[in-house]
Amino acid sequence: MYSQILLALSVLLPLRALAYSVSPNLVLLRSRGAESSGFIQLENKGAKPAAIEITIHEVHKDLDGQAISGKEADDDFIIYPAQLVMVPGDEAGVQVRWIGEPALDTERAYTLVAREVPIPRKSGEESEPSVGIRVDITVLMNYEVRIYVAPPGAKPKVVVESVTDRPPPAGAGPAASAQLEIILANQGTTHASMGDMTLVLLPLGPTGAPLKQRAVTLSAGDIPAMNKHLLAGEQRRLLIPRPSGLPAGPVRVVLSD
Protein backbone atom coordinates (compact mmCIF):
# COMPACT_ATOMS: atom_id res chain seq x y z
CA MET A 1 0.00 0.00 0.00
CA TYR A 2 2.73 2.45 0.94
CA SER A 3 4.66 1.65 -2.23
CA GLN A 4 1.54 2.49 -4.24
CA ILE A 5 1.21 5.83 -2.46
CA LEU A 6 4.89 6.65 -3.09
CA LEU A 7 4.49 5.71 -6.74
CA ALA A 8 1.49 8.02 -7.01
CA LEU A 9 3.50 10.83 -5.42
CA SER A 10 6.42 10.33 -7.79
CA VAL A 11 4.04 10.59 -10.76
CA LEU A 12 1.74 13.37 -9.54
CA LEU A 13 4.28 15.82 -8.13
CA PRO A 14 6.27 16.41 -11.36
CA LEU A 15 3.00 16.89 -13.25
CA ARG A 16 1.72 19.34 -10.66
CA ALA A 17 5.04 21.17 -10.69
CA LEU A 18 4.20 22.25 -14.24
CA ALA A 19 0.84 23.69 -13.20
CA TYR A 20 1.85 27.28 -13.97
CA SER A 21 5.02 29.16 -14.83
CA VAL A 22 6.35 32.67 -14.29
CA SER A 23 8.94 34.46 -16.43
CA PRO A 24 11.33 36.18 -16.37
CA ASN A 25 12.94 35.65 -12.95
CA LEU A 26 14.70 39.04 -13.06
CA VAL A 27 13.24 42.45 -13.93
CA LEU A 28 15.34 45.63 -14.20
CA LEU A 29 13.51 48.94 -13.73
CA ARG A 30 14.56 52.57 -13.64
CA SER A 31 13.37 54.88 -10.88
CA ARG A 32 11.83 57.27 -13.42
CA GLY A 33 10.86 57.48 -17.07
CA ALA A 34 9.44 54.88 -19.44
CA GLU A 35 11.61 52.10 -18.02
CA SER A 36 10.01 52.39 -14.56
CA SER A 37 7.43 49.80 -15.65
CA GLY A 38 7.82 46.18 -16.69
CA PHE A 39 5.87 42.94 -17.08
CA ILE A 40 6.04 39.36 -15.92
CA GLN A 41 4.24 36.61 -17.82
CA LEU A 42 2.22 33.82 -16.22
CA GLU A 43 1.01 30.71 -18.01
CA ASN A 44 -1.19 27.94 -16.63
CA LYS A 45 0.15 24.72 -18.14
CA GLY A 46 -1.86 22.45 -15.88
CA ALA A 47 -5.22 20.72 -16.23
CA LYS A 48 -6.89 22.66 -13.40
CA PRO A 49 -7.51 26.34 -12.64
CA ALA A 50 -4.79 28.11 -10.64
CA ALA A 51 -5.44 31.03 -8.28
CA ILE A 52 -2.42 33.32 -7.91
CA GLU A 53 -1.73 36.22 -5.56
CA ILE A 54 1.28 38.48 -5.96
CA THR A 55 3.17 40.33 -3.23
CA ILE A 56 6.46 42.25 -3.13
CA HIS A 57 8.93 43.03 -0.36
CA GLU A 58 12.40 44.47 0.09
CA VAL A 59 15.35 42.10 0.05
CA HIS A 60 18.90 42.35 1.34
CA LYS A 61 21.73 39.83 1.53
CA ASP A 62 23.91 38.87 4.45
CA LEU A 63 27.69 38.65 4.38
CA ASP A 64 27.54 35.16 2.86
CA GLY A 65 25.06 36.08 0.12
CA GLN A 66 21.92 34.61 1.69
CA ALA A 67 18.75 36.59 1.01
CA ILE A 68 17.07 38.37 3.92
CA SER A 69 13.45 39.43 3.47
CA GLY A 70 12.60 42.99 4.42
CA LYS A 71 9.39 44.93 4.81
CA GLU A 72 6.53 44.85 2.34
CA ALA A 73 6.86 47.35 -0.51
CA ASP A 74 3.24 47.73 -1.65
CA ASP A 75 3.45 51.53 -1.34
CA ASP A 76 6.34 51.69 -3.84
CA PHE A 77 4.74 49.66 -6.63
CA ILE A 78 1.56 49.21 -8.60
CA ILE A 79 1.12 45.53 -9.41
CA TYR A 80 -1.81 44.81 -11.71
CA PRO A 81 -3.46 42.44 -11.43
CA ALA A 82 -2.25 41.40 -7.97
CA GLN A 83 -4.73 38.51 -7.83
CA LEU A 84 -5.90 36.36 -10.70
CA VAL A 85 -7.45 33.00 -11.49
CA MET A 86 -6.07 31.26 -14.56
CA VAL A 87 -7.96 28.46 -16.33
CA PRO A 88 -5.95 25.71 -18.07
CA GLY A 89 -4.03 27.09 -21.03
CA ASP A 90 -4.49 30.69 -19.88
CA GLU A 91 -1.72 33.29 -20.24
CA ALA A 92 -1.59 36.61 -18.42
CA GLY A 93 0.71 39.62 -18.20
CA VAL A 94 1.21 41.32 -14.82
CA GLN A 95 2.45 44.91 -14.82
CA VAL A 96 5.00 45.95 -12.20
CA ARG A 97 5.34 49.74 -12.03
CA TRP A 98 7.58 51.71 -9.68
CA ILE A 99 5.80 54.66 -8.03
CA GLY A 100 8.32 55.22 -5.25
CA GLU A 101 11.02 57.88 -4.96
CA PRO A 102 12.03 58.92 -8.51
CA ALA A 103 15.40 60.38 -7.49
CA LEU A 104 17.13 57.39 -5.91
CA ASP A 105 20.79 57.66 -4.93
CA THR A 106 21.38 53.94 -5.31
CA GLU A 107 19.58 50.85 -6.54
CA ARG A 108 16.99 49.07 -4.41
CA ALA A 109 16.32 45.33 -4.53
CA TYR A 110 12.98 43.57 -4.11
CA THR A 111 11.51 40.10 -4.35
CA LEU A 112 8.16 39.66 -6.07
CA VAL A 113 6.41 36.45 -4.98
CA ALA A 114 3.75 34.76 -7.11
CA ARG A 115 1.97 32.43 -4.70
CA GLU A 116 -0.63 29.85 -5.64
CA VAL A 117 -3.55 29.72 -3.19
CA PRO A 118 -6.15 26.98 -2.78
CA ILE A 119 -9.41 27.27 -4.69
CA PRO A 120 -12.29 26.29 -2.35
CA ARG A 121 -14.30 23.31 -3.51
CA LYS A 122 -18.00 23.58 -3.98
CA SER A 123 -20.09 21.15 -1.98
CA GLY A 124 -21.25 19.42 -5.17
CA GLU A 125 -17.67 18.64 -6.11
CA GLU A 126 -17.13 16.33 -3.15
CA SER A 127 -16.48 12.83 -4.42
CA GLU A 128 -18.55 9.85 -3.30
CA PRO A 129 -16.98 7.57 -0.70
CA SER A 130 -15.11 4.70 -2.31
CA VAL A 131 -13.66 1.45 -1.11
CA GLY A 132 -10.02 1.54 -0.12
CA ILE A 133 -7.70 4.43 0.62
CA ARG A 134 -7.98 7.77 -1.18
CA VAL A 135 -4.95 10.05 -1.11
CA ASP A 136 -5.66 13.68 -2.04
CA ILE A 137 -2.52 15.69 -2.72
CA THR A 138 -2.47 19.44 -3.28
CA VAL A 139 0.87 20.98 -4.20
CA LEU A 140 0.87 24.78 -4.33
CA MET A 141 3.64 26.46 -6.31
CA ASN A 142 5.47 29.67 -5.39
CA TYR A 143 7.79 31.61 -7.68
CA GLU A 144 10.17 34.43 -6.83
CA VAL A 145 11.16 37.20 -9.22
CA ARG A 146 13.99 39.58 -8.33
CA ILE A 147 13.14 43.23 -9.05
CA TYR A 148 15.90 45.85 -9.20
CA VAL A 149 15.03 49.56 -9.32
CA ALA A 150 18.04 51.72 -10.19
CA PRO A 151 18.58 55.42 -10.88
CA PRO A 152 19.68 56.34 -14.42
CA GLY A 153 23.39 55.82 -14.99
CA ALA A 154 23.85 53.46 -12.04
CA LYS A 155 26.97 51.27 -12.20
CA PRO A 156 28.54 48.63 -9.94
CA LYS A 157 31.99 49.00 -8.40
CA VAL A 158 33.32 45.91 -6.64
CA VAL A 159 36.53 46.22 -4.65
CA VAL A 160 38.55 43.91 -2.42
CA GLU A 161 38.15 45.35 1.05
CA SER A 162 40.29 42.95 3.10
CA VAL A 163 42.20 39.66 3.00
CA THR A 164 42.71 37.68 6.22
CA ASP A 165 44.31 34.33 7.03
CA ARG A 166 42.01 31.97 8.93
CA PRO A 167 42.71 28.60 10.57
CA PRO A 168 41.18 25.42 9.11
CA PRO A 169 37.46 24.91 9.87
CA ALA A 170 36.77 23.37 13.28
CA GLY A 171 36.65 19.58 13.12
CA ALA A 172 38.11 19.46 9.60
CA GLY A 173 40.97 17.17 10.66
CA PRO A 174 44.76 17.58 10.78
CA ALA A 175 45.16 17.46 6.99
CA ALA A 176 42.83 20.41 6.39
CA SER A 177 44.40 23.53 4.93
CA ALA A 178 44.18 27.05 6.28
CA GLN A 179 41.66 29.45 4.77
CA LEU A 180 41.65 32.88 3.24
CA GLU A 181 38.81 35.20 4.17
CA ILE A 182 38.28 37.76 1.42
CA ILE A 183 35.77 40.57 1.90
CA LEU A 184 34.38 42.19 -1.25
CA ALA A 185 32.39 45.42 -1.18
CA ASN A 186 30.15 46.91 -3.85
CA GLN A 187 30.80 50.64 -3.66
CA GLY A 188 28.75 51.31 -6.79
CA THR A 189 25.10 52.26 -7.23
CA THR A 190 23.73 49.06 -8.78
CA HIS A 191 24.10 45.31 -8.15
CA ALA A 192 27.11 43.44 -9.49
CA SER A 193 26.97 40.13 -11.34
CA MET A 194 30.22 38.39 -10.39
CA GLY A 195 29.73 35.12 -12.26
CA ASP A 196 32.30 36.04 -14.94
CA MET A 197 34.86 37.59 -12.59
CA THR A 198 38.13 36.05 -11.44
CA LEU A 199 40.27 36.45 -8.34
CA VAL A 200 44.03 36.74 -8.76
CA LEU A 201 45.90 35.83 -5.58
CA LEU A 202 49.35 37.43 -5.49
CA PRO A 203 51.77 36.41 -2.71
CA LEU A 204 53.89 39.28 -1.42
CA GLY A 205 57.66 39.10 -1.18
CA PRO A 206 59.84 40.32 1.71
CA THR A 207 59.69 43.89 0.41
CA GLY A 208 55.91 43.80 -0.03
CA ALA A 209 56.11 43.57 -3.82
CA PRO A 210 53.75 41.04 -5.46
CA LEU A 211 55.35 37.85 -6.78
CA LYS A 212 53.47 37.69 -10.07
CA GLN A 213 55.16 34.45 -11.13
CA ARG A 214 53.58 32.69 -8.12
CA ALA A 215 50.07 34.08 -8.68
CA VAL A 216 47.03 31.80 -8.43
CA THR A 217 43.85 32.57 -10.39
CA LEU A 218 40.40 31.41 -9.26
CA SER A 219 37.20 31.80 -11.27
CA ALA A 220 33.75 32.45 -9.84
CA GLY A 221 32.93 28.82 -10.59
CA ASP A 222 35.48 27.84 -7.92
CA ILE A 223 33.83 30.08 -5.31
CA PRO A 224 30.05 29.54 -4.90
CA ALA A 225 29.51 32.81 -3.00
CA MET A 226 30.57 34.75 -6.12
CA ASN A 227 27.70 33.34 -8.18
CA LYS A 228 25.13 35.46 -6.33
CA HIS A 229 24.56 39.14 -7.06
CA LEU A 230 26.36 41.56 -4.78
CA LEU A 231 23.88 44.34 -4.02
CA ALA A 232 24.85 48.00 -4.05
CA GLY A 233 26.36 49.11 -0.74
CA GLU A 234 26.70 45.55 0.57
CA GLN A 235 29.62 43.22 1.32
CA ARG A 236 30.34 39.58 0.51
CA ARG A 237 32.59 37.18 2.43
CA LEU A 238 34.54 34.59 0.47
CA LEU A 239 36.03 31.77 2.55
CA ILE A 240 38.35 29.62 0.44
CA PRO A 241 40.98 27.01 1.28
CA ARG A 242 44.41 28.48 0.82
CA PRO A 243 45.60 27.11 -2.56
CA SER A 244 48.46 24.62 -2.26
CA GLY A 245 50.52 26.51 -4.86
CA LEU A 246 50.34 29.76 -2.89
CA PRO A 247 53.40 30.45 -0.71
CA ALA A 248 52.93 31.17 2.97
CA GLY A 249 52.70 34.79 3.98
CA PRO A 250 50.64 37.84 3.11
CA VAL A 251 48.53 37.88 -0.05
CA ARG A 252 47.15 40.63 -2.25
CA VAL A 253 43.91 39.82 -4.04
CA VAL A 254 42.97 41.49 -7.32
CA LEU A 255 39.48 41.22 -8.80
CA SER A 256 39.21 41.21 -12.59
CA ASP A 257 36.43 40.84 -15.16
- Give the residue range(s) of CATH 2.60.40.10 domains in the chain: 2-150
pLDDT in tens, 111-134: 999 999 988 776 555 555 555 555
Q: Would the pLDDT of 139 be above 80?
A: no
CATH class of the domain at 2-150: mainly beta
* Cα 188 from Cα 159, distance rounded (Å): 10
Cβ pair 86, 109 in contact under 8 A: no
pLDDT in tens, 12-25: 444 445 579 999 99
In the chain, what is the straight-line distance between the N-terminal and C-terminal CA atoms, in Å?
Answer: 57
Question: Residues 246-252: what's their mean pLDDT?
Answer: 89
Strand order in the sheet with 158-166: 158-166, 179-186, 235-241
Instruction: Return the bridge partners of 108, or none.
Output: 149
- What sign for the dihedral angle of Cα 208, 211, 216, 217? positive
Class of residue 114 by CB neighbours under 10 A (exposed 0-12, middle 13-18, buried 19+): buried
pLDDT in tens, 162-205: 999 988 777 666 667 789 999 999 999 999 999 999 999 999 99
Domain 158-256 has CATH 2.30.30: no
Query: Percent of the chain having pLDDT more than 70?
Result: 84
**Residue 34 CA to its chain's centroid (Å):** 26
pLDDT in tens, 230-248: 999 999 999 999 988 888 8
User: Count of residues for the chain?
Assistant: 257
